[in-house]
Every structure is written in C-alpha cells, then in structure tokens.
Structure 1
Amino acid sequence: MTGQIKDQIRYEDDAVLVCRKPAGIPVQTARAGQQDMVSLLKNYRAAKKEEPYIGLVHRLDQPVEGIMVFAKTKQAAAALAAQVGARSVDKNYYAVIWGKMKEKDGELCDHLSKDGRTNCSRAVSENTPGAKRAELSYHTVAETEEKSLLFITLKTGRHHQIRVQLSHAGHPIYGDGKYGARKESGYLPLALCSCRLGFVHPVTKKKMEFEIRPEGKAFFEFFPPEEK
C-alpha cells in the first residue's frame, strides 16, 4: 500500500506533502489493523530513510476522496494549523446530489449539532445548546432529470457539514445513506470529492493551489474523459 500511496502524491518538499486521499481510507484511526493516511505516509517517509513525522492539520471523512496537505515538520504543522484555524485555507468540493437546487447558485446557512454517540450531525435551531453556524456556497455545474453536480465552497468546517446541509435542503448526496439518500441496488460510493485546496506555504509564503478530478463512478456522467 505504501507504493500505491506514493502514486497519490501531488507535491512534496521539505515542509509539506500534498496527496489525494482515496475514498474509504480514514485519515487517522485507532482501530487495530486498519490502515490510515497518517500511518501510510509515515511508512512512505521511513522507506525513504527520512524521519517519519507526519503532521495532521485537517481532515476528510473516511468515505470522501480528496486532496489533502500534511506537514513534514512540527513548525510547518503549526503554521498550517493556524491557517486552518483562521479559515484562510481554501476548500472546494464536487458533490452529486439527488434532485435540483431551487437556485443554480446560492448559499446555505444553518446551525448544526453533533451527536458524538452516533457520530452524526443535524440541523437545529440557532438557540440550541452547542449549535454551531455552518456556511457554504454552491454553483450548479450540470444537471440530469434526477441528479445535479455542485461545485461547493466551504466557508466553515463543521462535522459532516456538506452532507448535513445538503440533506437538510432536501437534496442528499448520491450514495449517502447515512443522511437520507435513496437506496439503490448494489454499493454506491459517496459522491463527494474535495477537489481543490489552497494554502500559503509555511516556509516560502507562496500561495499554493492544487486540484484533482473525482474518480468515483458516480461522477463519470458529468465529467468528459481526460485528454490523453
């Protein structure tokens, strides 16, 4: 698997490592015997005879594929974590939803509450104890009779935010049975991809931007084939 993770790396220098997280692999887990991104990248660094430090500064849900940045030094981790905390890291997603949004371009603003026992979040009233404001904007890229492809800009970073907000709006993400997607025969991947990431390099201070195309089969009807 270490060799396979090497194929997912999009950029690497002495301070940061940017790679695609495949759908189904957790970012970090305490479950014995289950591989995660942090351990895979540590093994990758160890195989190169480097200090196997990997600093985790942001997360993606296990079923979500997408682009991530990891720190290779504690100093870089602190600098990147500060950007994440200040909401200055740019994050964009593609999501395939059931149905069509009322407006092709718009914003969703809700208040979300997390239930740690079930690992689920839900939209609640503003005055609910522990509720946190959640904001995103979206642009409709393509539509069919049943589904739509959205390009989403995340403005806050709440637990399961995109999944919960779209479900609350009446348009759950394709394949997301946890938040109300209709049942289909066979296994469906969660049609959500962190497709773009932008941050300031912790050492050079240059703006870094990375983009990927979704690989999940639920996206294929919307994206033309890549040029060879």
Structure 2
Amino acid sequence: MAGELPRPRKRPKQSRSAELVRAIREACIRILETEGPDRLTTQRIADVAGVNIASVYQYFPNKEAVLADVYEERLQQLADEATLEFTRIWKLSAQSFAGTLEAIIGMEADFLYQLYQISPDFYQRYHQALDVRERVNQRTQAESNPSWADWFALFLSQHEASVRAGDRDMQAFLARHTLESCLTAALRERPQALKDPAFREELLALLLRYLLAGQA
C-alpha cells in the first residue's frame, strides 16, 4: 500500500535486545546528523552501532525500517511534549484568542519541521503515516479528554463575544482544516517556511480574519 510505513521484523522482548535496537536507532540518527542521508545504509548503521550487520537484519529488513523506528520513537516524544504544551494552551485559551491560535500554529509548525529535519525525503514520503496530531488525539481521548476537533469548537464558543456569528462546528472544521492544509502545503513546497516567523504571522492573520467579527 502506498505510504504504508516500513515495519521492523520483530520487536525486542528482553532488555539486552532492547539495548541493541536502541544502539541501531541511535546509530541511524548519528549518521543522518553527521554524514547525511546518502551515507545511510544498513552496513553503515551496523558499523556505527558497533554490531554485526546480521544483528541489524535480525530486527530490521532494511534501512527504511530503521528510519521508521526512529520516527516512531520521536513521535512518542513529541506526543509527550504536546501533552505538556496543551496544558499551557488550555490555560491561555481563556485569556487570549489570538495568543492561543498563535501558540497552536507555533507548536504544529515546530513539530512538523522537527520531523522533516530527521530525513526530509523519508518524511515527505510517509508524513501521512507519521501524523503527530493523530497520535496526540489518540492519547487525549484515551484519557477521556476532548478530541482536537471537539476542543477547537469549544474554544470558539468560549470566545462567543469575539468570534463572528455562525455555526461553531462548521467554523471550527474550516479553521482546523485551513491550518492543516497550509502547514501540509508548506511542508511539501517550502519546508523552510515552517520555521519562518513571517509565514506563521500570515497564517495567524488568515485565521483571525476568518474567525473574528468585524474583520475585513
């Protein structure tokens, strides 16, 4: 299936095996950071990890599967960070409408760019399967918290006096997908824009013009 994330052959079950897989993962990251993606091969991963190549193939069929495992670990770390950041955003949402949107844009753009930087070609190919927002959504709903969609509609209702008249669920839907589409387009066409303050300011202005009453 197109876009399906490469998978490991198996998962480690003992602490010694887990250490081996971690060494392989860390070797992959080190090669990408210091030598570049063109130097990433299973043999090079084995050399940097200090293991026999057979040990790499015991857990991973190819370098793409190692990369996928690197991404899976990073997604879990970002989900942890997002949980903490959402606590701050939740408090901010009662104080500042624009400030909350700015914080959301900043967090999502930062996360996308961090994932992109690990291996640009790999992330461009598999980014739909590496959706940090979906991972966070799964976690928050498992803890009986509102989904991202439900929370955003509640956020608009919380600022009833400022947001223009209309169907809150529809407005939330359009605003969320406008944000997602703009970030995805930036990732595809101009990834450096994700860390550009001017891009983030324009995206914020776009959402504010749509959502706030009295905006041209």
TM-score using structure 2 length: 0.26
Of Structure 1 and Structure 2, the greater helix share is in 2
Structure 1 length-normalised TM = 0.25
